[in-house]
């Protein structure tokens, strides 16, 4: 029998038929097991690849999560937490950052683990960078122990930072895209408007859990975390 024909219930006319294909793959004898219930509205019928059928909900795509802005006005470190363990894209924003002291490069170090145990990845960053300013452009020096974009020794600069991290696979390898804009509307020429960037990748020792932002001493600014999972 190649067709199973069912007669309409309730005394109405017509039939509903289930028809087998002209041939199965490799002429296999297929057996399909129906679901244990009728599912809910909007669900679809899926297979486990072994002939067992069930109803499932259509995925709505990635979920976005946003933290509130966290002000930073003192100290040499700011720890950013709340990253979902299943995140595949993480974004960190830093608004209006100001530092005290010399060597104003912002440093970001990725941390891995969970709430009970975590560590910082302090090696293995594969990065390249550059900068653009009013009078030219150049290649920026990078390190392998953290993420940075070199800064300027000018306390009047407002700094705006954006880091995008994208997970490549299940082995905790992440690509890094970091941009920093240093702006001082009281300065002119090459010192008034500067753009720095650092791109690359790193393989973490575990699940991305936190990010440490470091500077000489923070005096103003705020951080925000966004994640997609």
Kindly report, residue by residue over 137-187, the tens digit of the pLDDT.
666 667 899 998 655 544 555 678 999 999 998 789 999 999 988 776 554
Most confident of 6-15, 101-110, 152-161, 205-214: 205-214
Please count the CA atoms within 13 angstroms of the CA of 163 that sit on its side-chain side. Answer: 26
Rounded to an integer, the average pLDDT of 204-226 is: 92
Can you give the residue ranges of every domain in the chain? 3-56, 64-228
Please report the pLDDT score of residue 68 as a whole number: 94
> Does the predicted TM-score (pTM) go above 0.85?
no
Kindly report, residue by residue over 7-49, the tens digit of the pLDDT.
887 777 788 888 888 898 888 888 889 888 888 888 888 998 8
Taking alpha carbons only, the member of 185, 170, 200, 45 closest to residue 110 is 200
Give the chain's mean pLDDT: 84
CA distance 211 to 112: 9
Please report the pLDDT score of residue 132 as a whole number: 78
What is the CATH architecture of 64-228?
Answer: Sandwich (2.60)
CA distance 178 to 79: 17
Please report the pLDDT score of residue 95 as a whole number: 92
Length of the chain equals 229
Taking alpha carbons only, the member of 133, 188, 186 closest to residue 155 is 186
In the three-class reduction of DSSP (H, G, I as helix; E, B as strand; rest coil), residue 97 is classed as strand
CA distance 170 to 204: 11
Quickly tell me which residue has 């041939």 as its tokens: 23
Cβ(149)–Cβ(139) below 8 Å: no
């Amino acid at each position: 029998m190649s067709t199973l024909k069912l007669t309409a219930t309730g005394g109405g006319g017509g039939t509903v038929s289930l028809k087998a294909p002209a041939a199965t793959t490799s002429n296999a004898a297929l057996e399909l097991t129906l679901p244990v219930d009728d599912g809910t509205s909007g669900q679809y019928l899926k297979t486990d690849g072994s002939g067992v059928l069930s109803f499932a909900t259509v995925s709505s795509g990635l979920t976005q999560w946003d933290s509130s802005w966290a002000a930073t006005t003192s100290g040499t470190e700011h720890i950013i937490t709340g990253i979902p363990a299943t995140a595949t894209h993480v974004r960190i924003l830093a608004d209006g950052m100001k530092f005290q002291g010399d060597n104003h490069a912002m440093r970001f170090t990725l941390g891995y683990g969970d709430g009970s145990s975590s560590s910082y990845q302090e090696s293995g960053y594969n990065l390249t960078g550059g900068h653009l300013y009013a009078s030219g452009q150049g290649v920026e020096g990078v390190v392998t122990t953290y993420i940075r974009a070199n800064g300027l020794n000018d306390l009047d600069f407002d700094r705006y930072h954006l880091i995008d991290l994208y997970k490549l696979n299940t082995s905790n390898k992440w690509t890094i895209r970091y941009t920093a804009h240093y702006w001082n509307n009281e300065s002119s020429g090459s010192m008034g408007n500067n753009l720095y960037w650092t791109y690359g990748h790193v393989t973490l020792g575990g699940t991305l859990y936190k990010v440490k932002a470091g500077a000489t001493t923070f005096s103003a600014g705020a951080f925000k975390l966004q994640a997609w999972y």
